[in-house]
Amino acid sequence: MEEAGVGLGSNLGDKTGWIKAALAGLDRLPSSRLKMASGLYRTQPVGYLDQDWFINAAAVVETSLSPGDLLAGLLEIESSLGRIRTEKWGPRLIDLDLLYYGRKIISENGLVLPHPHLDRRRFVLAPLAEVAAQWVHPILGLTPGQMLALLPEEGQEVIRL
């Protein structure tokens, strides 16, 4: 079994409900189990700013799926919840990002691990630091908390639901 980090986000409709449904989907993936999920964070959008704030979270999954099969499972969860990809960084019902898979470094056909923007996204690092505090980025040699400390403050608040 390998440990993998997953980022979750939603900014349409019942945002908290979409996150909870996605977490349940993670726990139903074959040869996998949801090990831990962070609290929920309300965060301002990045990139395309003319949209509602997001609810973000992070999860750790133990899996024997390959990285590619795990990514396919995440995309299937998104699809089953009704996600239709329209515009990059635009509004979405649910977004699941594979953040890391153990300490593997991968760059192939649509799969780059660790996630290429991981170290620059407070909305990913704050919840990830809750559930994967000991994980070390295999290229940067930093934990999520250490990467988070290097970033400027931005609009984000922790909400507990």
Among residues 27, 69, 97, 103, which one is catalytic?
A: 97
CB 98 within 8 A of CB 113: yes
Among residues 69, 95, 120, 122, which one is catalytic?
A: 95
Among residues 42, 83, 120, 122, which one is catalytic?
A: 83
CB 89 within 8 A of CB 46: yes
Amino acid identity of 2?
E
User: Is residue 92 among the annotated active site residues?
Assistant: yes
Separation between Cα atoms, residue 112 and residue 107, nearest integer Å: 4
Separation between Cα atoms, residue 83 and residue 11, nearest integer Å: 12
Among residues 33, 92, 119, 120, which one is catalytic?
A: 92
Amino acid identity of 117?
H
Separation between Cα atoms, residue 147 and residue 137, nearest integer Å: 9
Amino acid identity of 130?
E
User: Is residue 97 among the annotated active site residues?
Assistant: yes
Which residues are tagged catalytic? 83, 92, 95, 97
